[in-house]
């Protein structure tokens, strides 16, 4: 088995891009803390939106889906699951809520990871929750002709429990000494977790839940208000490419984790930028029409009513619809398509 010793990162030199991303996130984090103190009442709606988007996006990446209406009802605990996909969706919702509410009391250990995985499959008929894999798994892709091929072979089942123990112990030891920035440690740990691929199913979703948990435990609570999973889902190709680059030389311990570190840091930074944009709109005391107009004018390219509702959490659905209708009538916006396919663009 390869060695897992994150203390090796203490003396590693990082390029200017990584250092710049870390510095920018630190700045945004400090500003977010001020927002949280000054405008706490305006954030509840952002939390609701983020939970729905995170639950939808993380499952969507794995091909687990339901309708928008059903998704919102499931996340609000206003209905029960109708099929296997919905069983896994509410499992993710529950684990995400557990992390939101209790992250201070969920240390990073193999046992806690198993408990989170157990709860992920709490409603599922699959009898795999809370147990490490018992068969060899593979990370595969498909070529242009649809032929599947193996990208990477994770650790064997018999090596998995010890490997998870080692990465947790090494991570905690280095985090406790504060000798490596958590923003470097977290993506490094997540990459190793995905290379180990410890479960028969649910590895991707668990990696995203653990990313949120570790960020929270290091006081980066951006995922509570802006969905990191949604940003990953929108850039799946970049996500998989970064992982693939870092897997070369992993068994020998010669891999370069920089591509995945950069990918995850860019995702976190984008979330912080979105947070500031949304909180500024939420703090706007203008009319609903003016708030929607400003949000629409700030958008580039195509956008939907749902996009504007996400940006304007203090404005109700009917008010958003009325404002968009008026903006189209005033030739500020152009409406395209109809029904669920409707989207808007700014007028030339």
Task: Tell me the pLDDT tens digit for each residue of 159-186.
Answer: 999 999 999 999 999 999 999 999 999 9
Q: Given a cut of 70, is residue 41 above it in pLDDT?
A: no
Q: Residue 259: what pLDDT?
A: 96
Place of tokens 């929607």: 292
**pTM score, whole prediction:** 0.86
Residues 272, 327, single domain; the answer is no
What distance in Å separates the CA atoms of residue 348 and residue 332, rounded to the nearest whole number?
9
Q: Residue 39: what pLDDT?
A: 64
What distance in Å separates the CA atoms of residue 210 and residue 116, rounded to the nearest whole number?
9
Is residue 193 within 8 Å of 167, Cβ to Cβ? yes
Task: Please tell me what DSSP assigns to residue 63.
Answer: T
Mean pLDDT in the chain?
91
For position 15, which CATH number holds?
Answer: 1.10.3290.10
* 3-state percent helix, strand, coil for the chain, nearest multiple of 5: 65, 5, 30
Can you count the helices (H) and strands (E) in the chain?
14, 4
Place of tokens 């700045």: 27
Alpha carbon of residue 170 to chain centroid:
24
Residues 232, 325, single domain; the answer is no
Residues 202, 156, single domain; the answer is yes
Mean pLDDT over 90-118 rounds to: 96
150 vs 108, which has greater pLDDT? 108
- 180-199 pLDDT per residue, tens: 999 999 999 999 999 999 99
At which of 224, 252, 281 does a domain end? 281
Structural domain boundaries, residue 296: 287-346
Residues 143, 178, single domain; the answer is yes
Q: How many domains does the chain have?
A: 2
């Amino acid at each position: 088995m390869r060695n897992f010793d994150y203390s090796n990162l203490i003396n590693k030199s990082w390029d200017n891009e990584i250092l710049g991303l870390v510095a920018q996130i630190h700045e945004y984090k400090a500003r977010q803390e001020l927002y949280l103190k000054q405008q706490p009442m305006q954030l509840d709606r952002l939390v609701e939106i983020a939970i729905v988007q995170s639950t939808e996006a993380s499952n969507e990446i794995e091909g687990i889906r339901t309708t928008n209406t059903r998704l919102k009802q499931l996340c609000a605990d206003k209905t029960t699951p109708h099929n296997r996909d919905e069983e896994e969706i509410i499992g993710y919702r529950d684990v995400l809520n557990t992390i939101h509410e209790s992250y201070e009391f969920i240390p990073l250990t193999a046992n806690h990871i198993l408990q989170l995985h157990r709860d992920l499959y709490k409603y599922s008929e699959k009898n795999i929750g809370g147990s490490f894999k018992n068969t060899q798994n593979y990370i595969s892709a498909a070529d242009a002709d649809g032929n599947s091929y193996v990208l990477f072979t994770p650790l064997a089942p018999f090596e998995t429990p010890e490997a998870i123990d080692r990465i947790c112990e090494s991570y905690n030891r280095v985090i406790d000494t504060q000798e490596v920035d958590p923003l470097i440690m977290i993506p490094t740990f997540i990459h190793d977790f995905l290379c180990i691929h410890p479960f028969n199913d649910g590895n991707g979703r668990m990696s995203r839940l653990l990313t949120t948990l570790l960020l929270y435990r290091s006081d980066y609570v951006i995922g509570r208000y802006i969905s990191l999973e949604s940003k990953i889902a929108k850039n799946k190709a970049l996500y998989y490419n970064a992982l693939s680059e870092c897997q070369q030389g992993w068994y020998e311990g010669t891999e370069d984790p920089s591509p995945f570190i950069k990918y995850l840091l860019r995702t976190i930074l984008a979330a912080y930028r979105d947070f500031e944009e949304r909180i500024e709109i939420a703090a706007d005391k203008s009319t609903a029409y003016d708030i929607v107009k400003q949000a629409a004018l700030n958008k580039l390219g195509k956008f939907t009513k749902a996009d504007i509702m996400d940006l304007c959490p203090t404005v109700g659905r009917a008010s958003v619809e009325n404002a968009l209708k008026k903006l189209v009538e005033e030739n500020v916006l152009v409406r395209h398509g109809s029904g669920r396919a409707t989207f808007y663009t700014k007028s030339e």
